[in-house]
Amino acid sequence: MAKTYTPPKVWTWDAENGGKFASTNRPIAGATHDKTLPEGDHPFQLYSMATPNGVKVTAMFEELLEAGHAAEYDAWMIEIGKGDQFGSGFVDINPNSKIPALLDRSGDAPVRVFESASILMHLAEKFDAFLPASGPARTETLNWLFWQMGSAPYLGGGFGHFYAYAPEKFEYPINRFAMEVKRQLDVLDRQLAEREFIAGDDYTIADMAIWPWYGNLILGRQYDAAEFLDVASYNNVMRWAEVIEARPAIQRGRKVNRNWGEPNMQLPERHSAADFKTFE
């Protein structure tokens, strides 16, 4: 018989019941300790970790550099499992204490940018790249950028949490979120049936935002759930995911701010293109 939970009249936080990632969240905002963030020599200072949201931005930087833009950046590791995101310096840049966070020092005064979609748009507009300047093509790209921002919590915080990370397996939430993730994959599969990329014929920040979540899922890298979700049946998403993965900038971006997995995939900090020679 399934356990029955009766909510209390007033909820209180118990860190012991938070599951695998209990240390990365708490019910209040603000810094827990003083910690100054490091800064390098480049105009852009990125503070992140190679989660799907982090990879969006490192992929964008590497794509900009690949295209010849002056987008050199320093990427510093924020270890969310150790609570780095609650340090005072990080909270000054992102009061929401979530990666990624960016300090843009390219202008007269430093500008903080947080939320991955905001960072992608900020960089796209600064360099006039990977986002149409106006018209229906721009609107369509932003449609899909914000689709990802609204949809991915069901994949990560919903399906991923209950399928892979929750202390116990519960049928109802797994079924609920598996259904939603499969619906989202069908949305993408239909969109990609007659288009090379998400928003049309051109590669944009919409692809960079969606690929780290749904591309990695369809390629079998997230939650060990490829068979469970029958991802191979989404032929158009699979084709798109493989095309994006083959891009050299994506291959580099996946490694930045990563300190787990195969040694050839780990580059905890990135300060120049020469850092990737570690993998040669």
**Going by C-beta distance under 8 Å and a sequence separation of 6 or more, which residues neighbour residue 31?**
86, 87, 88, 90, 91
pLDDT in the model for residue 20: 67
251-278 pLDDT per residue, tens: 999 999 999 999 999 999 999 999 998 7
* Sequence spans of domains, the chain: 44-130+255-279, 135-246
The low-confidence residues of the chain, meaning pLDDT below 70, are: 1-2, 15-23, 280
| pLDDT value, residue 16 | 65
CB 119 within 8 A of CB 102: yes
pLDDT at 19: 63
* CA pair distance 155, 166, nearest whole angstrom: 14
| pLDDT for the residue numbered 24 | 79
pLDDT of the residue at 278? 79
- Candidates 3.30.470.20, 3.30.70.270, 3.30.70.1710, 3.40.30.10; correct CATH number of 44-130+255-279? 3.40.30.10
Torsion of CA 242, 54, 161, 230, to 10 degrees: -10
Question: Which pLDDT score, from 0 to 100, does residue 26 have?
Answer: 85
Question: pTM, whole model, 2 decimals?
Answer: 0.95
User: CATH assignment of 135-246?
Assistant: 1.20.1050.10
- pLDDT given for residue 133 in this prediction: 96
pLDDT of res. 272: 97
